[in-house]
A and B are shown apart, each in its own frame.
Chain A
Amino acid sequence: MKTKNIAFIGLLCSVSLILAYIEALLPPIYAAAPGIKLGLANIMSVFALYKYGAKEAATVCLIRISLSALLFGNPWSLAYSAAGAVLSLAVMILLKLSGKFSPVGVSIAGGVCHNLGQILLAMMVLKTIGLGLYMAVLAITGTIAGVLVGFCASLMLKYLKKV
């Protein structure tokens, strides 16, 4: 890996962490289901995925969730963001490799799978399957957030072509 890329990925990690921090400051939305969020930090993972590749996207994402859990989370939030992040990363990487989706489609899948991973972990922890209703709500909000995140990532890719 070139030194320049290492530096740039470090930069993406820190921007991603700041976005996660800003989002943690926003009042949480519990209106219809717990877990509704924008996922702004995912802009950096999607960008890294398209700009560099799977390994770099995973680096940005995993460094961000470990640091944000240490700085402004608790062991519970780490477990849940890790469950969401791992599933969402895996699906985003597969869809990117298929070559059939733009960053917007990839980030929609990523957003929805992030929620899905968290719900699946919650179902396992609580040993209850009655959380399906939450998933229906979260899939809708996850899609909307995914479109937004995907557009932001596309814009970054467009304007940072030369970097």
Chain B
Amino acid sequence: MEKKKIRNDIILAVCVLAASLIALAVFLCVRARGSYAVVLIDGKETARYSLSENAEIEIKSENGVNTLKIENGKASVISASCPDGICTAHRAVRYGGEVIVCLPNKLVIRIDSASNGGVDAVS
């Protein structure tokens, strides 16, 4: 009985790990350098910036203020008005599909590669 439970535990752990590793492996294989940093506030795209031009952009919304920095093809958030600052601690993103999230300000910075921009615009 106990042995059977342990076997079930292991099956559960292996299934979860396999599913996530496959998902990550697929992402790592198909990932492409992004071309745009898309700013989404409350789920709506409000702006997109090319990753090829260095810039510092202040993003204001009714929820707060964040500063987006684009440098050497990578986007990061360098300041935020929210108390937790998780978005500023996030590493810079550069591949299509990667996101930086600021939950309190309902802000998402998403990287779009030129190829998947159309698909995401529809979805």
CB pair A76–B103 under 8 Å, yes or no, is yes
CB pair A136–B20 under 8 Å, yes or no, is yes
State how many angstroms separate the Cβ of A137 from the closest Cβ of chain B.
7
Which listed residue (A77, A130, A143) contacts B99, Cβ 8 A?
A130
B12 at the interface (CB under 8 A from A): yes
| Chain A residues whose CB sits within 8 angstroms of the CB of B110 once the complex forms | 128, 130
CB pair A108–B101 under 8 Å, yes or no, is no
CA gap between A28 and B90 in the complex, in Å:
11
Which listed residue (B19, B43, B86) contacts A139, Cβ 8 A?
B19
CB pair A125–B103 under 8 Å, yes or no, is yes
CB pair B101–A126 under 8 Å, yes or no, is yes
| Chain B residues whose CB sits within 8 angstroms of the CB of A34 once the complex forms | 86, 90, 101
- The contact size tier of chain A is 35 or more
* Segment of A39-47, A53-61, A62-70, A96-104 engaged in the interface with chain B: A96-104
What sequence of 0s and 1s flags, for each residue 133-151 of chain A, a beta carbon within 8 Å of any chain B beta carbon?
1111101101100110010
A92 at the interface (CB under 8 A from B): no
CB pair B13–A128 under 8 Å, yes or no, is no
Name the residue on A nearest B95 (C-beta): A133
CB pair A137–B16 under 8 Å, yes or no, is no
Interface contacts beyond A76-B103, A102-B2: sample of 12 additional A-B pairs, CB < 8 Å, sorted by A? A102-B8, A104-B6, A112-B16, A122-B103, A127-B42, A133-B97, A134-B99, A137-B24, A140-B17, A140-B21, A140-B24, A142-B16
